[in-house]
């Protein structure tokens, strides 16, 4: 049976050409700072983001967590969105590794506003934790790949600078935001003190993320990366995959976005499914199955029996994610099988 795996863009596997680039990588010991391919990648990312320096890290989680630790002191508070990755999917690492607490604010489509953040700034009083950092996520995973409006980022950034509070961007999928809007990575990054970016999502590398920021901040990240076990010696093999992805897999993200939109429009036409087409902005599609039909977990199970793999994302919500291994025929197949599953569910048949 054909399988269409839409569970995540992290599923993507290195292509044959990417593997060749990895095999040919010139390497050295990166813990000594001597891996030429990692050094080249870090320089390229520093330039791309307009930051002084960059650091290759093993994962998006490690990039966020070294950043949190480098920006804060134990006991401080970090403002973020209650749907964000740092709050939900990083194993409680902010408390465990940096000793900070998260003040997770409810957002709309992954966006928290300046007004919300302002209200949550802690007064300078010994009773309160001190606000040490603000984190935003762009694109926003749990909100369905939504793009943070640049104007809101600008307002938050200007205010945070006035207050002397650092701003970190979880940009695991900032590439998608940049391709979808035409706003450069450097422009987005300019509003933040630090930014983390992933190569192992839509860009298709097997491993690897990067953090960019001021030189002294990156030096502190380097310390925490070592402490977290992230010194990876001849990691140039991995950096070569990231460099290959930068050269070959960024512009093509537009194809993933188009496929997500096409599937969303198709699903919206199936009675019993609800899709907010406005939220389908990049490579993630979230839709709902109506309560009268079934729950999301059951729907995911039924789709799985037809070879369509995806995740339930709430009692009625289902998430599908696009990446370089998903083609137009997979969109057609998913539509056909989803319509079939819905017809059976509504007809009361298995």
Ligand X SMILES: Cc1ncc(COP(=O)(O)O)c(C=O)c1O
> Buried b vs exposed e over 332-349: b needs ≥16 C-beta within 10 Å?
ebbbebbbebbeebeeee
CB closer to ligand X out of 144 and 266: 144
212 close to 185: Cβ distance less than 8 angstroms:
no
Query: Under 8 Å CB-to-CB from 118, ≥6 apart: which residues?
Result: 159
Q: Minimum distance between the CB of residue 132 and ligand X, rounded to whole angstroms?
A: 20
Cα–Cα separations (whole angstroms), residue 252 to 204, 207, 249, 308: 11, 19, 6, 23
- Nearest residue to the partner ligand X, using Cβ: 60
Rounded (10°) CA dihedral 107, 113, 118, 121: 40
Q: Minimum distance between the CB of residue 294 and ligand X, rounded to whole angstroms?
A: 27
Going edge to edge, which strands form the sheet with 101-105? 53-57, 209-213, 194-198, 166-171, 131-137, 77-81, 101-105
CB closer to ligand X out of 59 and 166: 59
Footprint on this chain of ligand X (rule: CB under 6 A): 10, 59-61, 64, 85, 137, 141, 170, 172, 198, 200, 209
Burial of 96 by CB count in 10 Å (0-12 exposed, 13-18 middle, 19+ buried)? exposed
**How many Å apart are CA 348 and CA 350, to the nearest integer?**
7
CB closer to ligand X out of 86 and 331: 86
Strands (E), the chain: 4-5, 53-57, 77-81, 101-105, 131-137, 166-171, 194-198, 209-213, 273-274, 284-289, 308-309, 311-312, 317-321
CB closer to ligand X out of 88 and 130: 88
Q: Minimum distance between the CB of residue 196 and ligand X, rounded to whole angstroms?
A: 7
Q: Minimum distance between the CB of residue 64 and ligand X, rounded to whole angstroms?
A: 6
Q: How many Cβ atoms are within 10 Å of 92's Cβ, its own excluded?
A: 9
CB closer to ligand X out of 64 and 98: 64
Q: Minimum distance between the CB of residue 60 and ligand X, rounded to whole angstroms?
A: 2
CB closer to ligand X out of 85 and 257: 85
Q: Minimum distance between the CB of residue 136 and ligand X, rounded to whole angstroms?
A: 10
Q: Minimum distance between the CB of residue 172 and ligand X, rounded to whole angstroms?
A: 3
CB closer to ligand X out of 85 and 249: 85
CB closer to ligand X out of 41 and 342: 41
Q: Minimum distance between the CB of residue 182 and ligand X, rounded to whole angstroms?
A: 21
* Apex 255 CA angle, 250 and 258, nearest 5: 135
The token pair that represents 41 in the structure block: 């990648």
Query: Under 8 Å CB-to-CB from 52, ≥6 apart: which residues?
Result: 46, 213, 214, 215, 218
CA-closest candidate to residue 60, choices 191, 183, 174, 226: 174
CB closer to ligand X out of 172 and 345: 172
Q: Minimum distance between the CB of residue 94 and ligand X, rounded to whole angstroms?
A: 13
């Amino acid at each position: 049976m054909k399988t269409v795996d839409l569970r995540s863009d992290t599923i993507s596997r290195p292509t044959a050409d990417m593997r060749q680039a990895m095999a040919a990588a010139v390497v050295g010991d990166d813990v000594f700072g001597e891996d030429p391919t990692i050094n080249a990648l870090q320089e390229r990312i520093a330039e791309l983001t307009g930051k002084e320096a960059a650091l290759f890290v093993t994962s998006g989680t490690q990039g966020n967590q070294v950043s949190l630790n480098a920006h804060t002191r134990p006991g401080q508070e970090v403002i973020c969105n209650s749907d964000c990755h740092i709050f939900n999917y990083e194993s409680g690492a902010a408390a465990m590794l940096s000793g900070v607490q998260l003040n997770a604010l409810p957002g709309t489509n992954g966006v928290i506003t300046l007004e919300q953040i302002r209200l949550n700034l802690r007064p300078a009083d010994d009773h309160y934790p001190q606000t040490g950092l603000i984190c935003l996520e762009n694109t926003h995973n749990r909100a369905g790949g939504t793009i943070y409006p640049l104007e809101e980022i600008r307002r938050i950034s200007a205010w945070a600078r006035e207050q002397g509070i650092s701003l970190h961007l979880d940009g695991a999928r900032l590439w998608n935001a940049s391709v979808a809007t035409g706003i450069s990575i450097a422009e987005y990054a300019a509003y933040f003190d630090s930014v983390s970016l992933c190569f192992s999502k839509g860009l298709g590398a097997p491993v690897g993320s990067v953090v960019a920021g001021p030189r002294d901040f990156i030096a502190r990240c380097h310390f925490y990366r070592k402490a977290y076990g992230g010194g990876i010696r001849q990691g140039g093999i991995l950096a070569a995959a990231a460099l290959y992805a930068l050269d070959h897999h960024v512009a093509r993200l537009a194809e993933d976005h188009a496929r997500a939109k096409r599937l969303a429009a198709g699903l919206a036409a199936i009675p019993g499914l609800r899709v907010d087409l406005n939220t389908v902005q990049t490579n993630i599609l979230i839709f709902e199955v109506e309560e009268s039909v079934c729950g999301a977990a059951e729907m995911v199970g039924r789709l799985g029996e037809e070879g369509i793999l995806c995740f339930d994302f709430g009692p009625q919500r289902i998430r599908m994610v696009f990446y370089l291994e998903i083609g137009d025929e997979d969109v057609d197949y998913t539509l056909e099988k989803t319509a079939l599953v819905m017809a059976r569910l509504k007809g009361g048949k298995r």
